[in-house]
Amino acid sequence: MITHQDTIIQNVFKQLDGLEKIDIYDILLKIETMLMDFKSPIQYEEIKKQIENNSINNISAVDGYGYCYLYDHCRYIKIYKIKTLLPDFLVGEYMYFITPWQLKLMEYTKENLKDFFKGNHLEAITLDFLKKYPPKSKNPVTGRLLLLELLDQIDPE
């Protein structure tokens, strides 16, 4: 017979379906860290409020016509999106990136990625990836950019 706790664990794993193990470990670490700040029993609304407050800290105004926010990241690159007052279907989706080695926002395009990774240890991997996929390709299961998933699998050593 399945216990109540086993049912909860099954429901959690449904949410994690398709993610890499390393991403799941990161999520579990974040959950463990957050649990230290809350009293028992856990109240979902308190957790939701803290997550929303932390998300607001990742938003910056851009020239009075929109805002910039952290979209996704890995150890090698951070991707930002710019949201304007105009709908996306009129102006497109503006994506930019920075890296630990260069903190100037660059437009997230194939050419800029090739130029940036030229001459470093990730050049061959990123060139091969960009020959096969456009930079904005996403994993259909996780919705994450494929380039970031690839870069997450590379050991920095």
pLDDT tens digits, residue range 74-128? 888 888 887 766 665 565 668 888 887 777 788 889 999 998 888 888 889 999 9
Are the C-beta atoms of 52 and 129 separated by less than 8 Å? no
For the record, the structure tokens of 123 come out as 């050049």
Average pLDDT for 32-49: 79
Are the C-beta atoms of 83 and 95 separated by less than 8 Å? no
pLDDT at residue 110 in the model: 92
pLDDT reading at 152 higher than 80: yes
pLDDT reading at 157 higher than 70: no
CA pair distance 29, 11, nearest whole angstrom: 19
pLDDT at residue 32 in the model: 79
Average pLDDT for 30-44: 79
Which residues face 67 on adjacent strands?
61, 83
